[in-house]
Structure 1
Amino acid sequence: MDASFITREAMSNIAVLGKPTSPLDIAALAAVGVSSAAYLLRGIAWDKPDPYRHLFFERPQLKDGFQSERVQATRNIAEALEQQGKNCVIFWGSQSGTAEGIAYRLARECHIRYGLEVIAADLSDYDPETIALIPESKLAIFVLSTFGEGDPSDNTAGFWEWLHKNASKLSLPNLHYAAFGLGNSNYKYYNRVVDVVAEALEKGGAKRLLPVGRADDSTGGTEEDYLAWKDDLFTTFREKLGYEERDNPYTPTLTIREDPSLEPIDLHSGVPIEQHASNKKKVAKTSPIKPLEISSAEYLYSSTKRNCLHMEVELGSYAELRYKTGDHLVIYPMAPDEEIQILLRALGLEDKASTPLLISAIESGSAHTLPSPTSAEALFRYYLEISAPVSRDAVRDLAQFAPTPVAKDLLAALGRDKTAYSEFVGATHVTIGRLLAAAAPGAIWADLPLSYILETVPLLQPRYYSISSSSVVSPRRLAITVGVEDAPLAHNPQVAIPGLTTSYLAAVAGSLTPSPSQPAYALAGPDGALQGHRVFAAIRRSKFKLPAFASTPIVMVAAGTGIAPFRAFVQERARLRAVGKEVGRMVLFFGCRRAGEDFPYRGELDEARVAVGGDKFEVVPAYSREEGQPKRYVQDRIAERAKDVCELLDNDATLYICGRAAMAREVAKVLEEAMMGQHGWDAAQVTEWKNSVKRGNKWLEDVWG
């Protein structure tokens, strides 16, 4: 009840008694008045929370931790450039970390090769209107990713909104810029973000230095696309801007100092660091990271090369962790023991793997996003993506540190020749450690600074898994569905590269249930934090939600592990039906290879069909490898059922697609053709319909790759 109401009631009750007539009456009245005032002023005049109380619980070393957590002096990028003596800013908008990594690499190379003083800047760290204040003498470079249906990354949202709100009145006559986009041509709106940004900047009078670069990740071409654009950028530097290329040796941006006096408790030993504090939208979407227990794991199917895990995760006593049906579980993986040992051995750090290291940026704007103090082992296991392929750029640069002439010649040749590099990568599992070991077998790379490894190897990124359970049915225990499949090398199919996070989860599952052999991991985690089958994880909100009304019909399309959120949807509708709620019709189009081999949750879906009523739920399978039958994919089955699907969509059904982007693109084509045939629409009309249902959240996709 409202405190002011209580006070008024008390005063009213006192008034009924009349005026105080004795010292005891006066004392009682005073006591009531004082207590009422004290209650109302709690937290204002007394019992105020100490704003610095949290400092008692912080480790002293956190003041030297992530650079992104430090207080930012200004949100005006023009002021920042002036204050720091910089003449170029590289803005990055990144969802998975790739664009961020490219921005920092480019910043370092611009400085080393052309003497530019560069800030690599998170777009959310600066007010977008201050971009107009960047003087003509300075450069701006945009490295922007596109994901989903042409969406900007979370940290680009503020800049994106500003561009659209001010599209007709942008004035950027002094801005000289270049732009590079990261996208995937499997998506309809390939590289839409960089295209929209470039168009808006041009309309505002900005001057583009060279054509917009675009990377296509549909065939793994992002790195080569970036290198080609970077060569054009540097040609522009030399020929149009008059910058002189310098032949400088490697110049570190980090200092790394051993400090054996530090105790293990002082170190960042592997606990994940929370996301950028400045990135408010991203932080708001993701819960705190916690060590969550995997209480059970079960193989839904298993073949010689492909497995599928159903894992159940306990939210336990973490009251702040709550999920809703359709959300994602964010998993923070670790590198396998073998990769760590190979790299430590090549660098001659096996005896110093646990030595405390202090890491600091030589100057602001450098790529220091690593924790300090820490150790080489913790960096390699928890913070760097040492299991990722090495870029051709990095291979070329490594030649200068080679311990033997043969290694130097090999790396220089691979770095120069795109074809030779492609063939080498296609035949060899090329991680940073394996590359060093293969180029100079048995040798120690004594001249290779650890700072180069930290600057070059990308940060280890979390992975996202659709939650395959309903929060209505199981609010404190969630499930994920994990496909475990090694990727064979293009030119050496006998060698397969294990997926980093899927293999890690399979190893955790192996301690719970018999499983195929997987790489070895330090499953106990840093300081034993993951003992008891735990993983570092968080919950990320999603827009992939069931309709508000259970009576709304839904059409679901999935292939492989894309079935995960639909298991949750069906679970929830079955529970609602069990308590007497009316549920709308559900049709699930699901694609896999064979009915008896890789159809997860088939028994559960059959039970759900009975529970909700046979006329309410139907599964339409598509088998691409069924013996004696032609290949059929989900888009083929939708085409066969076009009239029924169109009628459902016309009757307010919500459409959901989950799986690979290529599948989603083919499904969209079939649906557009079906609606054109059903209604006699032309291309413009079907496009307007599609855009309309997407704006109304009646067409939702959760796709990848």
Structure 2
Amino acid sequence: MSAVPPLPIVPLPEEKSAEALRLLEGLDAPALWWLSGYAAALARHHGGATPRPAASPAREAVAQERLTIVYGSQTGNAKRLAEQLARDAEAAGLAVRLVRAGAYPQRELKAERLLVVVISTQGDGDPPDDARGLVEFLAGKRAPQLADLRYAVLALGDSSYPQFCAIGRRVDARLAELGAVRLLDTGEADVDIETVAAPWLARTLELAREALKPVAARSATVTPLRTAAPLAPASEWTRARPFAAALLANQRIVARDGARDVRHVELSLADSGLAYEPGDALGVWPINPPALVAAVLEATGLDGDAPVRHDGRSLGLRDWLARERELTRLARPFVALHAARARSDDLNRLLAPDRREALAALLASRQPIDLLREYPAAWDAEEFVAALRPLAPRLYSIASSRKAVGDEAHLTVGVVDYEAFGARHVGAASQFLARADDDARVPVYVEPNERFRLPADASRDVVMIGPGTGIAPFRGFVQERRETGAAGRNWLLFGNRHFHSEFLYQTEWQDALRDGSLHRLDLAWSRDGARSYVQDRLREHGRELHAWLDGGAHLYVCGDATRMARDVHAALLDAFVAHGGLERERAEERLLQLAEEGRYARDVY
């Protein structure tokens, strides 16, 4: 570890500053984070408020000479793009600060002169979890006037939702309302992110270089700033260059006669150098099911062996459809193009601005094969390939701890396979993994999720809420806590449809209860007898839940974002109102505070 830099100006006597430096010397990042949290807790105990110093002239001068990039990311895409822009800007000689939205010092916003925000929209118009505080700050009365700020916003979203890129649009509009000046129009990237993001980032870098050029000419002796948190060295295996992981196990973990198929998949990462922490995700590059490719070719009447040239590459059409194009996710641009070719009034009406909800329902329930069959149209092979979105990797929460399983990564995979609208609907990655045989190699990479980490202080209690396959990361959490001998208690809330057929990892949880690595297990079954869900269990045990959180516990939620996560959030509010004596608005503030402290983390999708 490099030497500790001198302390900035602080309200400490000289001898205390020296002692602080000696204490910090040699500590790694987790220890430093723990120490900072401990010190903050002591300050609150003594009744001290967090200091909010005014921006100094020196700090304002630094802000004028740098590009600040703030990202709000739920699944890692916004983070990846922000890091890419930061690397490119540094390579171009610009001073750069890269900051996660949840860690951005809001009081410094008024000193910024050049700002890029890369932010995604979740579900029906929600910000990423760790960007909620910044978004609310911008919308509130404390947001400063920003007449000296130039900015750009790259918005990420999914056009299958009515509130496509809503958060990015909201941030852009609010910055303009506060007096800031746009460098360029908001970029709005759909799931095929690179189509919009690549040219937008290139143009933003060009404009940033122009904006900082006069400053650079005046400040030739200034050493460019590095990022606030230096970028980790890129792994040899990445999203663009995945590692071919050997399949070690592919086991069904629900009853054979059950309506659903859920798999426990074990992959070898031996000799890859890939590392992960509990809470991270594994990106899987799938191959579309052969039966689906054949159905698409039949519906279009196109020749699968015909060569197709697109984006400077030439492949057979069947290869394009199997490995390069999305066949299981429907997108608005394809609906629009197909509606024009099919001359369908029904589809064209769905594209009207006042039919967003109906269009969202179509995109959520149908796949391209449905449109090809229901609204026949003539397609040219090249134009068909160009109309479909590029195939994207799927992210799975890792269901293991390396301390327990070594150079392996385990996944919990719900296999998507059902009949609807006269077609068999399948999931690209889940079917790919379900079909994998003993000799299979699965293209994978690690997607870190710093927002979803176990507490650095192992004496803290943790509450884990994970219905269905949302249980995955908590298997890794419990393994990790067992292997490290963590002193904190572990409380797991799991729900599914049926006890006898869908109690995922049942024997493991029972063993964990016996050996003391799991201290409490509460279950909910939505199709057995009286229906119950995890949020019902939270309300039933609201007093204990509030006591755990009031005592410093960390809370984690994983699973469905559209219903479960919202219902769980409402149940948490009820617990603070009923057992914490808070008004509803204050309870909302308390949950936001827990999120900003890293004590309320969600991995929802």
Fold match (TM-score > 0.5)? yes
Q: CA RMSD in A?
A: 4.9
Decide whether the 8 Å contact of 1:167 with 1:200 is kept in 2. no
What residue is the counterpart of 2:434 in the other structure?
A: 506
What residue is the counterpart of 2:108 in the other structure?
A: none
2: distance between equivalents of 1:653 and 1:185?
34
CA deviations 1:33-53 (Å, max 9, x no partner) are xxxxxxxxxxxxxxxxxxxxx
- Out of 477, 489, 499, which is 1:585 matched to? 489
2: distance between equivalents of 1:696 and 1:331?
31
CA deviations 1:673-700 (Å, max 9, x no partner) are 2123323222343233222221221111
- Out of 455, 469, 476, which is 1:561 matched to? 469
What residue is the counterpart of 1:314 in the other structure?
A: 268
How much has 1:553 moved relative to structure 2? 0.9
What residue is the counterpart of 2:27 in the other structure?
A: none
**1:241-640 counterparts in 2 under 5 A?**
288-302=241-255, 303-318=257-272, 320-345=273-298, 349-350=302-303, 352-353=305-306, 355=307, 357-360=308-311, 372-389=313-330, 391=332, 394-395=334-335, 397-398=337-338, 408-409=342-343, 411-416=344-349, 431-432=367-368, 435-436=371-372, 439-440=375-376, 445=378, 448-489=379-420, 492=421, 496-508=424-436, 511-512=437-438, 532-543=439-450, 544-576=452-484, 581=485, 583-612=487-516, 617-627=519-529, 630-640=530-540
2: distance between equivalents of 1:648 and 1:98?
33
Decide whether the 8 Å contact of 2:323 with 2:391 is kept in 1. yes
Distance change >3 Å, CA 182–CA 457, structure 1 → 2: closer
CA deviations 1:69-114 (Å, max 9, x no partner) are xxxxxxxxxxxxxxxxxxxxxxx99988999xxxxxxxxxxxxxxx
2: distance between equivalents of 1:390 and 1:372?
23
Query: What is the letter of the counterpart of residue 532 of structure 2?
Result: R
How much has 1:462 moved relative to structure 2? 0.7
How much has 1:463 moved relative to structure 2? 0.6
2: distance between equivalents of 1:620 and 1:186?
35
2: distance between equivalents of 1:433 and 1:482?
24
Decide whether the 8 Å contact of 1:305 with 1:485 is kept in 2. no
**1:607-686 counterparts in 2 under 5 A?**
607-612=511-516, 617-627=519-529, 630-661=530-561, 662-686=563-587
Distance change >3 Å, CA 536–CA 667, structure 1 → 2: same
1: distance between equivalents of 2:87 and 2:129?
16
Query: What is the letter of the counterpart of residue 608 of structure 1?
Result: A
Distance change >3 Å, CA 146–CA 167, structure 1 → 2: farther
How much has 1:416 moved relative to structure 2? 3.9
- Out of 139, 146, 153, which is 1:169 matched to? 146
SS for the counterpart of 2:413 is strand
Decide whether the 8 Å contact of 2:120 with 2:155 is kept in 1. no
Stretch of structure 1 that moved more, 281-290 or 298-307:
281-290
- Out of 127, 135, 149, which is 1:150 matched to? 127
Decide whether the 8 Å contact of 1:297 with 1:309 is kept in 2. yes
CA deviations 1:303-357 (Å, max 9, x no partner) are 4531110011111221x2122222111111111223323444566653634x4x5
SS for the counterpart of 2:500 is coil
2: distance between equivalents of 1:541 and 1:468?
14
Gaps of 5+ in 2: 1-70, 79-83, 95-116, 192-230
Gaps of 5+ in 1: 1-91, 100-121, 130-141, 218-279, 361-370, 402-407, 513-531
1: distance between equivalents of 2:571 and 2:173?
32
1: distance between equivalents of 2:415 and 2:243?
24
How much has 1:193 moved relative to structure 2? 3.6
How much has 1:701 moved relative to structure 2? 0.8
How much has 1:550 moved relative to structure 2? 2.5
Task: Tell me the percent identity.
Answer: 27
1: distance between equivalents of 2:410 and 2:155?
41
How much has 1:290 moved relative to structure 2? 1.0
2: distance between equivalents of 1:572 and 1:186?
39
SS for the counterpart of 1:621 is strand
How much has 1:572 moved relative to structure 2? 2.1
Distance change >3 Å, CA 350–CA 183, structure 1 → 2: closer
2: distance between equivalents of 1:686 and 1:152?
17
CA deviations 1:114-171 (Å, max 9, x no partner) are xxxxxxxx98799799xxxxxxxxxxxx9963138723999xxxx999999x964345
Name the count of aligned residue pairs. Answer: 452
Query: What is the letter of the counterpart of residue 689 of structure 1?
Result: R
CA deviations 1:479-519 (Å, max 9, x no partner) are 10011243553xx5x755122221221111xx35xxxxxxx
Decide whether the 8 Å contact of 1:183 with 1:214 is kept in 2. no
Stretch of structure 1 that moved more, 585-594 or 685-694:
685-694
SS for the counterpart of 1:374 is strand
1: distance between equivalents of 2:507 and 2:584?
41
SS for the counterpart of 1:352 is coil
How much has 1:647 moved relative to structure 2? 1.2
Decide whether the 8 Å contact of 1:299 with 1:308 is kept in 2. yes
Distance change >3 Å, CA 151–CA 123, structure 1 → 2: farther
Decide whether the 8 Å contact of 1:185 with 1:216 is kept in 2. no
What residue is the counterpart of 1:39 in the other structure?
A: none
How much has 1:602 moved relative to structure 2? 1.0
What residue is the counterpart of 2:224 in the other structure?
A: none
How much has 1:413 moved relative to structure 2? 4.9
How much has 1:202 moved relative to structure 2? 2.5
SS for the counterpart of 1:147 is coil
2: distance between equivalents of 1:282 and 1:575?
28
Query: What is the letter of the counterpart of residue 167 of structure 2?
Result: R
SS for the counterpart of 1:414 is helix
Query: What is the letter of the counterpart of residue 192 of structure 1?
Result: I
CA deviations 1:548-600 (Å, max 9, x no partner) are 23322111111001111111111222233xxxx35211111111122212111
TM-score (norm 2): 0.63
Decide whether the 8 Å contact of 1:552 with 1:652 is kept in 2. yes
2: distance between equivalents of 1:638 and 1:341?
47
SS for the counterpart of 2:248 is strand
2: distance between equivalents of 1:552 and 1:143?
33
How much has 1:283 moved relative to structure 2? 6.5
